[in-house]
Amino acid sequence: MASPQTAKYSVQKMIEEKKLGQKNKLNTEKMVPYILLATAIISVLTTIGIVFTLIFETFTFFERVSIIEFFTSQKWYPFSSTHPSYGIMALISGTLKVTLIAAIVAVPIGIGSAIYLSEYASDKTRRIIKPILEVLAGIPTIVYGFFALTFVTPVLRDLFPSLETFNAVSPGIVVGIMIIPMIASLSEDAMSSVPNSIREGAFALGATKLETSIKIILPAAISGIMASIVLALSRAIGETMIVTIAGGSSPNFSWDVTSSIQTMTAYIVQVSTGDAGFGTTIYYSIYAVGMTLFVFTLAMNLLAQFISRRFREEY
């Protein structure tokens, strides 16, 4: 049996250890805001560094090439030894063709999937299908690229013999498949957030499930749906490996989707692999193209935020 002095000493030691533990915990709590602030500052400084690098190198490019030629010329021949031409419209044309085809594929399938998951599927079915659908977003884009080149293109050429090996249709379709999970998942979240009282009111007035989904729920969740579409298309604009592998490397300003194309990202990959030396005009052109791509993506994100704020419904 412990003596009173030993028991008193043990209790006092426990109190001191508890106070020490609380002090250490308090010091840790004080450090956490500074750690989080440091991570936020690093993120901001990284973004600023990227933007300023693009701006400075783009200005260097425009000291050598006319900005008017860059935005108005329809010919992009930077590797020509006699008369190089830097008309970004040829690359923008290829980028927009792929994005438009991707939108035609992804928007109806994505919204249709979201309507089913939100309005028709049971909880058990939703828990099974939604994770499987989102697995598509985890497939490496280079795998998508070879899938487009070795599977989708041969199938399309069997249907349309005039289709070239490298074209805009095949990468456009596969990019559309890739962005389906983004549209479906975000749209389903937006539709699920619509209160059930609205559905019950529509049913009470005699509306069918389809009418309620199309005429009531879809308009009520339009802000989230439109934001998901715009974000997905901005992802399509910035896609690299699929269009590099299956689209080709022939920048042409036309709306012919059966011939070889080159997008802005594909050109950046081509030059970055060593086709141009450091300090050359071609080298600086990748920054000008990157800056154009950055502006496109930034505009799409701002549009998504505007649509989300403008058409948001408060319940």
- Residue range 21-36, pLDDT digits in tens: 566 666 677 787 888 8
The DSSP call for residue 225 is: H
CA-based nearest residue to 286, from 57, 47, 46: 57
Domain boundary among 63, 86, 112: 63
> Based on the domain organization, do 289 and 214 belong to the same domain?
yes
Secondary element (H or E) of residue 86: strand 85-86
Does 288 lie in the same domain as 161? yes
Burial (0-12, 13-18, 19+ Cβ within 10 Å), 93: buried
**Within a 10 A sphere around the Cβ of 300, how many other Cβ atoms?**
20
Coil, helix or strand for 90?
A: helix
Mean of the per-residue pLDDT values for the chain? 83
- What is the number of other CB atoms lying within 10 angstroms of the CB of residue 62? 15
Burial of residue 172, with CB atoms counted within 10 A of its CB: 0-12 exposed, 13-18 middle, 19 or more buried: buried
Domain-embedded: residue 278: yes
Measured in whole angstroms, how far is the alpha carbon of residue 113 from the centre of its chain? 19
In a domain, 68, yes or no: no
Q: For residue 253, what is the domain's CATH number? A: 1.10.3720.10
**Residues 174-193: what's their mean pLDDT?**
89
**Domain ranges, residue 42:** 4-63
What pLDDT sits at residue 10?
Answer: 63
Of 22, 42, 63, which residue is a domain's last?
63
Predicted confidence at residue 282, as pLDDT, reads: 83
Task: State the total domains in the chain.
Answer: 2
Q: Across residues 95-103, what is the average pLDDT?
A: 92
Do 85 and 75 touch, CB atoms closer than 8 A?
A: yes
Confidence at residue 69, expressed as pLDDT on a 0 to 100 scale: 84
- The Cα-based distances of 313 to 88, 107, 114, 300 in angstroms read 40, 22, 18, 21
Q: Residue 232 and residue 300: Cα distance in Å, rounded?
A: 9
pLDDT band of residue 105 (cuts 50, 70, 90) is very high
Give the pLDDT of residue 274: 67
Residues 50 and 100 in one domain: no
Do residues 59 and 126 both lie within one domain? no
Q: Strand, helix or coil at 179? A: helix
Quick one: average pLDDT of 31-46?
Answer: 87
Q: Distance between CA atoms of 23 and 175, rounded to whole angstroms?
A: 54
Percent of the chain with pLDDT over 70: 89
Residue 86, strand partner residues: 76
Residue 24 has a pLDDT of 62
Residue 15 to residues 12, 21, 267, 299, Cα–Cα distance (Å): 5, 10, 68, 60
In a domain, 162, yes or no: yes
Express each pLDDT in 216-268 by its tens digit.
888 888 888 888 888 898 888 888 888 888 888 888 888 888 888 888 888 88
| End-to-end CA separation in angstroms for the chain | 67
Left (φ > 0), alpha (ψ -120 to 50) or beta: where does 208 sit? beta
Distances (CA, A) of 261 to 122, 190, 226, 257, 283: 44, 36, 28, 8, 21
> Can you tell me which residue has the tokens 């058409």?
311
**Domain ends where: 13, 33, 63?**
63
pTM of the model: 0.82
Judge if 24 and 99 occupy the same domain.
no
C-alpha span between 70 and 277 (Å, rounded) = 21
140 and 45, same domain (yes or no): no
For residue 33, the model assigns a pLDDT of 82
Residues 33 and 86 in one domain: no
Residue 39 has pLDDT above 80, yes or no: yes
The confidence score (pLDDT) of residue 101 equals 93
